[in-house]
Amino acid sequence: MNESEQRTERNANIWAPWRIEYIRSLADEEQGCFLCRYGEAPSRDSENLVLWRGTNCFALLNRFPYTSGHTLVSPLSHVGGLENLGGGAMCEMFEMVRDLQCLLSKAIGAEGFNVGMNIGRCAGAGLPGHLHLHVVPRWHGDTNFMPIFGNVTVLPQALGELYARLCRTAAELNLPKLS
């Protein structure tokens, strides 16, 4: 069997109907920046999966996560690069990262974290005009066969269920009150 036939044998459909929301959002430029919309709507924090709000920044669950608990930390202002971010907002962003690490370690047993940002579309930014940090929980041995053979990530918990669990655990840890 040649390489093409082997690859074809391994291909399988894995349905992920929730991804259509993300695909449609890419074409819907009329709605503008989702981080700005979420930042301007504190009354919809639960619906928008916003965990915390500070003076300059907010933290929210990523609707299209790499792993369970993948969160974003963003300034409230529409800032595309670090050179335009004030010191107060920068400090507050990293305080939120610190608190998210504590929360995610306790609530879902995260053993490590990837923390980073993509600045500019060529660097991988899906939303290049609004700076944000990714906080991605990791576990020992979490790179399993699914991403390698199936180009698929398995997320074991629904976002709404995870949001509720994070809210409960934040209260137990005396972290800033979640939205």
Active site residues: 132
Strand extents, DSSP E, 94-162 = 112-116, 133-138
Instruction: Identify which of 95, 100, 107, 98 has the alpha carbon closest to the alpha carbon of residue 50.
Output: 100
Q: How far apart are CA 50 and CA 61, in angstroms?
A: 7
CA 60 to chain centroid: 7
Cβ atoms within 10 Å of 39's Cβ, excluding its own: 21
Taking a C-beta distance cutoff of 8 angstroms, is the pair 116, 133 a contact?
A: yes
